[in-house]
């Protein structure tokens, strides 16, 4: 029988980024229902901002600027994209609104978008975070009208008489219905409906009427003078959309191996609720099947989940936060920089011969027990300008982190690290770990975090 404490840890892993040091004592006392009430509590939305005031540039006419001015804007964008990345990471580690940040992390991968313009980046991220627990319709409309997404999927090139199908195709294939629920004719007609959707120099959504095709269109069996809003609403009328989103959420929150009967039931409920995200999450996290043993410790942590989980359990001061960008890059998941419009992979795709070793060494590297022996591949676009910073390139091998070990050791006093840190029993006997750690609580924690089972959540 699964204990209440294991259930609470399981909930923390899936509805957030794992148990924090401060939650240990509470999780030992609280019922699973009480813990869910904490996670699902309504909290005021706090947007992510730049560390310094934004300087206004006419981003749309940047091509008219002189070389030196372009370079200045590029450097500013790189630095501010780093700020957004690290501020989002910080929210995942420290925010009490764990459910919002976890769902924002999910939607940020679902609505995968990558742009250089930092003003666009922070806007779409906050739209995602603001709507992460609300209604999927509101989220879909907000993201579809975000300058970042319109730019990323080339909809500013979508004009009457010369439609660009990229945006329309990805909205249906990746963001809503999935393949096989539409035809190529539907893609062409949807693209016509989205003609004219663009943005102005202040990064605000606008409809350019002179570029819009107002003629009749036949889309998913309906005919009318549809615009983009009508197309999105017709997509939401399709039960396939609710089923597609529910399936993807199940894989993210529950198990990569889908139980189709459960997903079908959840998808029907999601559809009938009018796409109420919070209600869907409540159904998942309060169900008995969510806490069955086959779902506990069944998922491989993504790089961000791994990093954030360590930082939540080991309170640390990071002297050079920019170094965390290097670890994101080495592990293969950099916030704001998905590999393509399909987003990041999942499951076993995170593990290969190089990343597995580094993943297991991070607790030792971050605690100063060993150096980082890898070098990130040079890619100035992916580095967001870090390659130009020679000092940082040399410094990242030293994590420059200090862990509040006295606080950690006090919280772990009288408790087995394996019981607190793992969801699956280790493949070796406990006494082997105890012998290696030689009774040292600190070493025992680090070594437990360095074994394969810690890669699971």
Q: Tell me: the pLDDT tens digits for 123-137?
A: 999 999 999 999 999
- Which residue in 336, 382, 338, 339 sits closest to 129, CA to CA? 336
**Domain end among 106, 133, 160:** 133
59 pLDDT above the threshold of 60: no
385 pLDDT above the threshold of 50: no
**Domain end among 89, 107, 133:** 133
* Structure tokens given for 371: 């150096």
Global pTM reads 0.94
Has residue 439 been placed in a domain? yes
Domain limits for position 430: 303-455
Q: Are residues 12 and 67 in the same domain?
A: no
In this structure, what DSSP letter does residue 207 have?
Answer: E
Give the CA angle between residues 280, 282, 284 to the nearest 5°.
Answer: 75
Calpha distance 401→404 (Å, rounded): 10
Q: Are residues 32 and 49 in the same domain?
A: no
Calpha distance 189→206 (Å, rounded): 20
Q: What is the pLDDT of residues 274-297, one digit of tens each?
A: 999 999 999 999 999 999 999 999
Q: Are residues 440 and 350 in the same domain?
A: yes
> Higher pLDDT residue, 380 or 321?
321
The strand pairing partners of 218, in sequence order, are 223
**pLDDT (0 to 100) of residue 351:** 93
Residue 97: count other Cβ atoms within 10 Å of its Cβ. 21
**pLDDT (0 to 100) of residue 301:** 98
60 pLDDT above the threshold of 90: no
Contact by Cβ (8 Å): 322, 86: yes
Q: Are residues 391 and 314 in the same domain?
A: yes
pLDDT band per the 50, 70, 90 thresholds, residue 389: very low
Q: What is the pLDDT of residues 311-347, one digit of tens each?
A: 999 999 999 999 999 999 999 999 999 999 999 999 9
Q: Are residues 409 and 387 in the same domain?
A: yes
Q: What is the pLDDT of residues 146-187, one digit of tens each?
A: 999 999 999 999 999 999 999 999 999 999 999 999 999 999
Has residue 52 been placed in a domain? yes
Q: Are residues 37 and 49 in the same domain?
A: no
* Domain tally, the chain: 3
Has residue 275 been placed in a domain? no
Calpha distance 144→152 (Å, rounded): 11
Q: Are residues 323 and 419 in the same domain?
A: yes
- Quick one: average pLDDT of 60-67? 65
143 burial class (0-12, 13-18, 19+ CB within 10 angstroms)?
buried
> Higher pLDDT residue, 404 or 440?
404
The set of long-range contacts for 117-120, using a CB threshold of 8 Å and a minimum separation of 24, is 117/59, 117/77, 117/147, 117/148, 117/151, 117/203, 118/50, 118/76, 118/77, 118/80, 118/81, 118/83, 118/84, 119/54, 119/59, 119/203, 120/59, 120/146, 120/147, 120/148, 120/151, 120/203
96 phi and psi angles, rounded to 5 deg:
-75, -20
Intra-chain end-to-end CA distance of the chain, in Å: 18
Residue 201: count other Cβ atoms within 10 Å of its Cβ. 12
**pLDDT (0 to 100) of residue 189:** 98
- Quick one: average pLDDT of 344-367? 93
Calpha distance 396→383 (Å, rounded): 13
Q: Are residues 127 and 33 in the same domain?
A: no
Calpha distance 451→457 (Å, rounded): 13
Has residue 93 been placed in a domain? yes
Q: Are residues 318 and 350 in the same domain?
A: yes
- Quick one: average pLDDT of 224-250? 98
In this structure, what DSSP letter does residue 164 have?
Answer: -
- H-only helix segments in 292-352: 303-313, 323-331
Contact by Cβ (8 Å): 155, 197: yes
Share of the chain above pLDDT 70, in %: 89
Q: What is the dihedral of CA 437, 438, 441, 442, to 10 degrees?
A: -50
**Domain end among 105, 133, 161:** 133
Has residue 21 been placed in a domain? yes
Has residue 315 been placed in a domain? yes
- Which residue in 268, 294, 280 sits closest to 103, CA to CA? 280
386 pLDDT above the threshold of 70: no
Calpha distance 131→150 (Å, rounded): 18
Contact by Cβ (8 Å): 62, 203: no
Calpha distance 142→140 (Å, rounded): 6
Q: Are residues 30 and 104 in the same domain?
A: no
CA dist list (Å): 316 to 281, 303, 402? 31, 18, 5
Contact by Cβ (8 Å): 189, 219: yes
* Structure tokens given for 12: 């923390």
202 pLDDT above the threshold of 90: no
- Quick one: average pLDDT of 354-375? 90
Has residue 36 been placed in a domain? yes
Select, from the ranges 57-61, 198-202, 311-315, the one with the highest average predicted confidence (pLDDT): 311-315
- Which residue in 385, 320, 392 sits closest to 75, CA to CA? 385
- Quick one: average pLDDT of 254-278? 98
Has residue 224 been placed in a domain? no
Question: SS3 of 431, please?
Answer: helix
Burial 366-401, CB ≥16 within 10 A → b, else e: bbeeeebebebeeeeebbbbbeeeeebbebbeebbb
**pLDDT (0 to 100) of residue 56:** 52
Question: SS3 of 17, please?
Answer: coil
15 phi and psi angles, rounded to 5 deg:
-90, -5
* Structure tokens given for 181: 């629920």
pLDDT band per the 50, 70, 90 thresholds, residue 64: low
250: Cα separation from own chain's centroid: 15
Q: Are residues 313 and 434 in the same domain?
A: yes
372 pLDDT above the threshold of 90: no
Query: How much is the mean pLDDT over the chain?
Result: 92
Q: Are residues 21 and 61 in the same domain?
A: no
């Amino acid at each position: 029988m699964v204990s209440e404490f294991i259930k609470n840890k399981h909930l923390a892993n899936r509805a957030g980024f794992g148990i924090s040091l401060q939650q240990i004592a509470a999780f030992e006392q609280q019922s699973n229902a009480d813990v869910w009430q904490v996670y699902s509590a309504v909290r005021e939305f706090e947007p992510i901002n730049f560390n310094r005031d934004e300087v206004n540039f006419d981003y749309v006419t940047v091509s008219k600027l002189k070389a030196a001015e372009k370079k200045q804007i590029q450097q500013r964008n790189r630095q501010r994209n780093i700020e957004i990345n690290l501020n989002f990471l910080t929210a995942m580690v420290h925010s009490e609104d764990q459910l919002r940040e976890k769902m924002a992390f999910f939607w940020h991968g679902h609505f995968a978008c990558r742009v250089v313009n930092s003003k666009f980046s922070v806007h779409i991220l906050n739209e995602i975070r603001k709507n992460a627990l609300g209604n999927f319709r509101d989220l879909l409309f907000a993201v579809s009208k975000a300058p970042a997404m319109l730019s990323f999927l080339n909809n500013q090139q979508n004009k009457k008489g010369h439609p660009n199908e990229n945006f329309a195709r990805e909205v249906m294939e990746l963001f809503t219905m999935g393949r096989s629920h539409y035809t190529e004719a539907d893609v062409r007609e949807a693209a016509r409906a989205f003609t004219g959707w663009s943005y102005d120099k202040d990064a605000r959504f606008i409809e350019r009427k002179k570029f819009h095709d107002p003629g009749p269109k036949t889309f998913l069996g309906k005919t009318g003078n549809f615009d983009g809003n009508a197309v999105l609403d017709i997509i939401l009328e399709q039960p396939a959309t609710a089923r597609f989103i529910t399936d993807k959420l199940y894989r993210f929150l529950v198990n990569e191996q889908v139980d189709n009967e459960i997903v079908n039931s959840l998808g029907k409920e999601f559809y009938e609720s009018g796409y109420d995200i919070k209600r869907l999450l409540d159904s998942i996290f309060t169900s008995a099947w969510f806490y069955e043993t086959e779902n506990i410790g069944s998922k491989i942590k993504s790089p961000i989940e791994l990093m954030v989980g360590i930082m939540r359990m080991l309170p640390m001061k990071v002297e050079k936060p920019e170094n965390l960008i290097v670890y994101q890059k080495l592990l293969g998941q950099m916030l704001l920089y998905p590999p393509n419009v399909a987003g990041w992979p999942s499951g076993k795709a995170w593990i290969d011969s190089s990343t597995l070793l580094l993943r297991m060494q991070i607790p030792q590297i971050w605690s100063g027990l060993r150096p980082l022996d890898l070098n990130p591949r040079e890619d100035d676009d992916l580095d967001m300008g870090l390659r130009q910073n020679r000092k940082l390139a040399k410094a990242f091998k030293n994590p420059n982190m200090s862990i509040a070990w006295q606080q950690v050791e006090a919280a772990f006093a009288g408790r087995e690290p394996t019981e607190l840190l793992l969801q699956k029993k280790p493949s070796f006997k406990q006494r082997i770990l105890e012998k290696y750690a030689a009774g040292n609580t600190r070493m025992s924690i680090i070594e437990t975090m360095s074994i394969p089972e810690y890669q699971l959540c």
